[in-house]
Structure 1
Amino acid sequence: MQQTAYLPLALALAGMLLSGPVLAHSEQHAAQHSAAIVKEQKPWGIAGEPGQVSRTIEIGMSDQMRFSPDQLEVMQGETIRFVHRNQGKLLHEFVLGTQADLDAHAALMAKFPGMQHDEPYMAHVAPGQSGEIIWTFNRAGEFDFACLIAGHYQAGMVGRIRVLTN
């Protein structure tokens, strides 16, 4: 009987411990948003420079939980300006990554739906608005993109980018 008295305390403590990284994650993104873009090499590339854009690719986002197009091919070394147009009435986002990274981030978003994040490989687009990211694909391979808002990823709001070698 005494053990059950400690259960609420243990759950509260676990919640506090788990929320620390999320709060730090939010604070880190807020700081990055006000500062210059931090260039960090990722398996799928690195933040690009506007003056080095090779081409622009427009991507539609819909409330049917789809991107259009959802399959892309780019050449290794290309710097792409992605222009995202949210044609729906819900907030959507575009996040580049590997399948494993997107799965992990989607799981966090499901647990913490209000989690704030702002990385150079992400764009959050309000209904009826557009957003953009500039990304340099300096590594060949197959990579993914998704909307990681809780429920959107699970409903199939995903796409794939094949980065081909020259």
Structure 2
Amino acid sequence: MKTLKFIASSALLMGATAGFAHQNTPHKGYAAMPAQQQEWGIAGQAKDARRTITLRMTDDMRFTPSHFTVKQGETVRLRVENKGQVMHEVVLGTPDTLEQHAQMMVKFPNMEHDEPHMAHVGPGKRGDLLWHFNRAGQFDFACLIAGHYQAGMRGTITVTP
């Protein structure tokens, strides 16, 4: 009976560990998922980008610029430069989606994720995020690495009609 309980416990633990490990595994290298419409737009294509906006990230937990404006229907290349000594990221969203994601990052600081509305950039490196802003409104961006968002590393995007 003890052996049966041990096997059952081990199976449950392996299942939980596998689920958590999958959550922490980026899906790069697999077939690309179709772009999904978000409240703040949809993934863009490089061929459609007519403008590049450079966002600089620093270890004082700030973005420069912390606000920018685009026109509805515009596809923008966000060039994300990490001028700091630690990892930073840019995640596009709404205040609610960013707050929820930030809370998850505090609970699971090593959680890896790879979505079209995110760019993770190592110290001294740069990356690009292509986004088609097809909905007017005010949206946000933030670094959701645990502690960075809480220190005020966020900004706003105005999408004009």
User: TM class by shorter-chain length?
Assistant: 0.7 to 0.9
User: Is the deviation greater in 37-46 or in 110-119?
Assistant: 37-46
* Residue identity matched to 1:138: N
Question: Normalization by structure 1: what TM-score?
Answer: 0.83
Q: Secondary structure at the match of 1:64?
A: coil
Question: Normalization by structure 2: what TM-score?
Answer: 0.86
Deviation at 1:162, TM superposition (A): 0.5
1:76 to 1:143, Cα distance in 2 relative to 1, 3 A: same
- Alignment correspondent of 2:139: 143
1:84 to 1:142, Cα distance in 2 relative to 1, 3 A: same
Partners of 1:139 and 1:128 in 2: how far apart?
Answer: 33
- Alignment correspondent of 1:4: none
- Alignment correspondent of 2:117: 121
Deviation at 1:160, TM superposition (A): 0.1
What are the Cα deviations for residues 10-36 of structure 1, in whole angstroms up to 9, with x where unaligned? Answer: xxx9xx86x776544334xx22x2132
What are the Cα deviations for residues 96-131 of structure 1, in whole angstroms up to 9, with x where unaligned? Answer: 000000000000000000000000000000000001
Contact 2:24-2:110 at 8 Å conserved across structures: no
2:127 is the alignment partner of 1:162: no
Contact 1:76-1:163 at 8 Å conserved across structures: yes
Aligned residues: 148
Contact 1:63-1:88 at 8 Å conserved across structures: yes
Structure 1 residues 45-60: aligned runs within 5 Å: 45-60=41-56
Partners of 1:154 and 1:70 in 2: how far apart?
Answer: 15
Gap regions ≥5 residues in structure 2: 1-11
Partners of 1:161 and 1:80 in 2: how far apart?
Answer: 12
**What's the RMSD between the two structures over aligned residues?**
1.9
Candidates 21, 37, 44, aligned match of 1:41: 37
* Residue identity matched to 1:26: N
Gap regions ≥5 residues in structure 1: 1-12
Contact 1:66-1:157 at 8 Å conserved across structures: yes
Deviation at 1:80, TM superposition (A): 0.3
Q: Secondary structure at the match of 1:43?
A: coil
Contact 1:22-1:115 at 8 Å conserved across structures: no
Deviation at 1:64, TM superposition (A): 0.2
Structure 1 residues 20-35: aligned runs within 5 Å: 22-27=20-25, 30-31=26-27, 33-34=28-29, 35=31
Which aligned runs of 4 or more in structure 1 are off by greater than 6 angstroms?
A: none
